[in-house]
Amino acid sequence: MKKYDYIAFDLDGTLSDPEHGLVEGFIYAFKKMGVKDYGTRESLRRFIGPSLYVVWQDEFGFTPETVIDAIEKFREYYNIYGWWDNKVYPGIVEMLSSLRAKGKKLILATSKPEDTAKKIMSLFELDKYFDFIGGAAGDNRDHKWEVLEYSMRSVGADPERTILVGDRMYDAEGAAKCGVDSLGVLWGHGTPEEIAASGFTLTAKAPSEVVELLG
């Protein structure tokens, strides 16, 4: 099996489950923006992972200007109450520790704003396992492929020796655009059907399986 020196990780739905805090923030933003038909709490899980700038324009017809306002409303809630309303998936710490012990360089590539990602990684003491923590920066660096490219460039990662681990189709698409392999995890927010259809190079049912595949 191909060996990887650099392992890039998504955050939401891959390392931690942010569902409750994020969904509360989505609802807060929609109410503030006067969106009445935003669906159920369960249906709002589909917004965990992708760039809100893109999906909210597609879903609700926001203009580029109004989607920025909607995201600001979301952050009014999330930046105070939502970011810590989160939990690390079982087995993640053991997975990261094992990969580091095997000499792997770990980088984060998340569509979440970089400053928020750093706070979450520090809160759960996951940052100590990572060589670099990369996140979104608004219009400048928003799509997954842009964040992944930035994170890889920051540590000098060779695309041929890099793999991205994530839980949504956007992770597979971003990895493909950057010319790197991808591993889809089945414990996150992507359905098994989404993972199967997204073109991931590998899949894993549990964090321990990630170590078996990539260690």
Question: Which residues are the active-site residues?
Answer: 10
Cα 66 to the chain's mean position, in Å? 24
Find out whether 131 and 160 touch, Cβ atoms under 8 Å.
no
Pure H helices in 124-165: 144-155
Instruction: Locate 102 and state its tokens.
Output: 């095997």
Calculate the CA dihedral of residues 207, 44, 177, 134 and round it to 10 degrees.
-60
